[in-house]
């Protein structure tokens, strides 16, 4: 097997796993056990077990883990009252 074939098989496996996970997340949303909501603090999409926005998300609590380069250059800057509405 060449490197291209191994890479192609790996890519197919990753995409199939992601598609299967997305299907199960959608089914959980239909059953009311899993919701995709917006964070009240930063407006990022986050997961919740209730159909209401969360007060904080992973982006709010751990900005260095989610966006390390951006948070080093913009420490302490919060986006408030942005014009972008969802």
Q: What are the tens digits of pLDDT across the range 51-79? A: 887 787 777 777 677 677 766 766 665 55
Contacts of 72 (CB under 8 A, 6+ apart): 64
pLDDT of 14 reads 97
Residue at token pair 């972008």: 84
pLDDT of 5 reads 95
Contacts of 33 (CB under 8 A, 6+ apart): 49
- Which of the 8 DSSP states describes residue 37? E
Each residue's pLDDT tens digit, 72-85 = 766 665 555 555 55
Q: Return mean pLDDT, the chain.
A: 80
Q: How many angstroms separate the CA atoms of 10 and 53, rounded?
A: 36
- Domain segments of the chain as ranges: 1-33, 34-78
Collapse the DSSP code of 77 into the 3-class scheme (helix H, G, I; strand E, B; otherwise coil) and give the result.
coil
């Amino acid at each position: 097997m060449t490197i291209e074939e191994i890479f192609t098989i790996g890519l197919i496996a990753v995409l199939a796993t992601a598609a299967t996970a997305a299907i199960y997340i959608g089914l959980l949303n239909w059953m009311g056990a899993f919701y995709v909501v917006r964070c009240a603090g930063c407006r990022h999409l986050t997961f919740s077990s209730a159909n209401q926005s969360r007060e904080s998300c992973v982006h709010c609590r751990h900005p260095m883990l989610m966006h390390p380069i951006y948070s080093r250059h913009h420490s302490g800057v919060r986006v408030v009252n942005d014009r972008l509405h969802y």
